[in-house]
Amino acid sequence: MKKYLAFLFMAFLTLQTTFAGDIITQDAKQLPLVARNFINRHFTRPQISYIKIDSEFLSKKYEVVLSDRTKIEFDGDGEWEEVDGKRNNIPATIIPAHIKQYVEANYPGVSFTKIERDRGEVEVELTNHLSLTFNKKGQLIDIDD
């Protein structure tokens, strides 16, 4: 029985590595339409340095790096998961309205450098080096410096 399970496990790993692979390109047509629209809507004259397509067994992920070093991660459907300006400001149009209002009221003059969505939570990093996490109801649940 152990040999059978070990064989199945090895077969699964072999299959996964056979179909997995990264592709590096500059061709925006390799991105899902939703991702291309997101980039064009929120970034003025974006210049793509490269696109990394991470193909796994049953899914894909996309990482786009712009010429200003901004990194955008998309899921397989082209929905954004993270936008990281690498300490530079990211477009405020990406930030949900309730988060913008909270930051404007509590931290005037501060901009956003990163936003990440994960399991109903949204985390933003600010130019004052604070990290704020909001739940799906829009309530602040964590502040980290």
* pLDDT > 90: percent of the chain: 71
- Side by side, the strands of the sheet bearing 60-66 are 21-25, 48-55, 60-66, 71-74, 80-84, 112-118, 121-126, 131-134, 140-144
53 close to 71: Cβ distance less than 8 angstroms: no
Q: What is the assigned CATH class of domain 89-145?
A: alpha beta
SS3 breakdown of the chain: % helix, strand, coil, rounded to 5? 30, 35, 35
Has residue 69 got a pLDDT over 90? yes
Q: What CATH architecture does domain 21-79 belong to?
A: 3-Layer(aba) Sandwich (3.40)
Which candidate, 134, 97, 139, 98, places its Cα nearest to that of 119?
134
pLDDT band at 59 (very low <50, low <70, confident <90, very high): confident
Average pLDDT over residues 115-142: 95
**What is the torsion angle, in degrees rounded to the nearest 10, for the CA atoms of residue 103, residue 107, residue 110 and residue 111?**
-10
Q: Looking at the whole model, is its pTM more than 0.85?
A: no
For the chain, domain boundaries: 21-79, 89-145
15 close to 57: Cβ distance less than 8 angstroms: yes
Average pLDDT over residues 44-65: 91
